[in-house]
Amino acid sequence: MNKLALVTTLGLTLVFAAGCANKSVVRYGDATAVETTDINFGSTDLQKVAAQMTDSLFLSPVVGTLTQNTRPVMFVERLKNKTSEHIDTESITDSISTKLLRSGKFRFVDMGRVEAAREQLKFQHDGGMVDPSKATQFGRQIGAQYMLYGNLSSIVKSNQDKTDVYYKFTLRLMDLESGLVEWADETEIRKTKAKESVGW
Amino acid sequence: MFNSKITTSTSKKVTSSLAMILLSTMVIAGCANKTPPVTAGTGTSAMTQGDDFSKHLEVHNADLAKRLFISDVKSRKSNDLLEINLTLTSRYEKSQKLQYHFNWFDEAGFVIEAGKTPWVPVELHGKQSTTLRGLAPNTKVSTFSVYVREIPEKAYEY
């Protein structure tokens, strides 16, 4: 009985001591879970924006007609970041174009890699190492028919108790031949940060 | 073809002494580490059109399931992609901060784009109902499941 009491006391002491120890722990988390670490543009916002925009694009009747028998060729122009914070907008467009491409309904040309492709073709033709009959030909690439472009803007307001951030993301699809905007949509995100009176 | 379920963690019966120890551990741990939140939620299993929805409901978190209600599960093909609509209603008087996500499966039951569908935050005010919409990532999808769980108040664990 005495032994039990000793063990319990020891255990409790350990628990007490360990309870307040400040140790850092590394864990793997869910990459798609909602993240609310701070009010800045985060992974949840990026994923939400990308998912909503691709869903809206797929559901649009115009896009339904465009993709009925063909897979239109698109290119993504860089998104304009008009917010007050640094946001990697290429990451948003990457997510959107990857989703569109993986759906099997669209094809893409990558303007960011034009120079690299040109260098490779130059090497094949002028390097003297590639059999000319097997070199990939110049001037055979397919041009984009549609351009995706957009804006990301924000309104930030705060007082001593509360911060409110509003993001508006607009995306448009332009027919490059006619110059007509065939589809457009915007998505909004509101985030607030307030002081909690009781924290645990 | 669609499916749905609600998952909530069942409370376990513990002896009073164990409960005391657990409680004290939590109280003590509270000053340094916040207690991990219960994040189990609501989900669904394979279901066909016209099927009784409630049969497919799986509850893993009884507390959360008491505060939520899923109804009107509808599906259709939009531009060859499976589109899902369902109504999520709060039975609770206070606001609830929730997140939901869809899982997509092909005809053979294989998961499609595993781990890529994001959890979407949704705030339900007292007794409010909202419509959740999901769109399949590609044309192969034939069934789905949806999960709802709470957003942890403190972002410590996911």
**A156 within a domain of the structure (yes/no):** yes
A151/A170 Cα distance (integer angstroms): 5
**A71 within a domain of the structure (yes/no):** yes
Condensed to tens digits (0 to 9), the pLDDT of residues A158-182 reads 999 899 999 999 999 999 999 999 9
Contact flag A33-B79 (C-beta cutoff 8 Å): no
Give the count of domains, chain A.
1
pLDDT at residue B1 above 60? no
Of A92-96, B143-147, B152-156, the least confident: B152-156
Residues 6+ apart with CB under 8 A from B126: B90, B92, B93, B94, B95
Q: Minimal Cα distance from A105: which residue of B? A: B138
Identify the pLDDT of residue A133. Answer: 92
Chain B interface includes A103 (CB < 8 A): yes
Backbone angles phi, psi at A193, to 5 degrees: -125, 120
Of A54-63, B11-20, B97-106, B139-148, the least confident: B11-20
Is the distance from CB of B37 to CB of B154 less than 8 angstroms?
Answer: yes
> What domain range includes position A77?
38-110+148-194
**A93 within a domain of the structure (yes/no):** yes
Is the distance from CB of B84 to CB of B134 less than 8 angstroms?
Answer: yes
**A189 within a domain of the structure (yes/no):** yes
Find chain A residues with C-beta within 8 A of B35's C-beta. Answer: 200
Give the domain CATH number at A181. 3.40.50
Condensed to tens digits (0 to 9), the pLDDT of residues A129-147 reads 999 999 999 899 999 999 9
Please determine, for the modelled complex, whether the ipTM score is greater than 0.85: no
Condensed to tens digits (0 to 9), the pLDDT of residues A27-37 reads 888 888 888 88
Identify the pLDDT of residue A5. Answer: 76
Task: Spell out the domains of chain B, with CATH numbers in brackets.
Answer: 4-150 (2.60.40.3230)
Identify the pLDDT of residue B50. Answer: 52
pLDDT at residue B44 above 60? no
Identify the pLDDT of residue A19. Answer: 56
Chain B interface includes A95 (CB < 8 A): no
How much is the pTM?
Answer: 0.74
A90/A94 Cα distance (integer angstroms): 6
Is the distance from CB of B147 to CB of B113 less than 8 angstroms?
Answer: no
The amino acid present at A199, given as its one-letter code, is G
**A53 within a domain of the structure (yes/no):** yes
Distances A129 to A116, A121, A137 between C-alpha atoms, Å:
18, 12, 15
**A18 within a domain of the structure (yes/no):** no
**A103 within a domain of the structure (yes/no):** yes
CA A52, A58, A63, A66 torsion-angle sign: positive
The alpha helices in A81-135, defined as continuous H runs, are 89-102, 114-126
pLDDT, mean over chain B:
70
**A199 within a domain of the structure (yes/no):** no
Contact flag A55-B31 (C-beta cutoff 8 Å): no
Is the distance from CB of A63 to CB of A72 less than 8 angstroms?
Answer: no
Tell how strand B42-45 and strand B57-59 pair up.
Answer: antiparallel
Find chain A residues with C-beta within 8 A of B139's C-beta. Answer: 103-104
Model confidence band, residue B11 (pLDDT cutoffs 50, 70, 90): very low
For residue A41, give how far its alpha carbon lies from the nearest alpha carbon of chain B (Å). Answer: 14
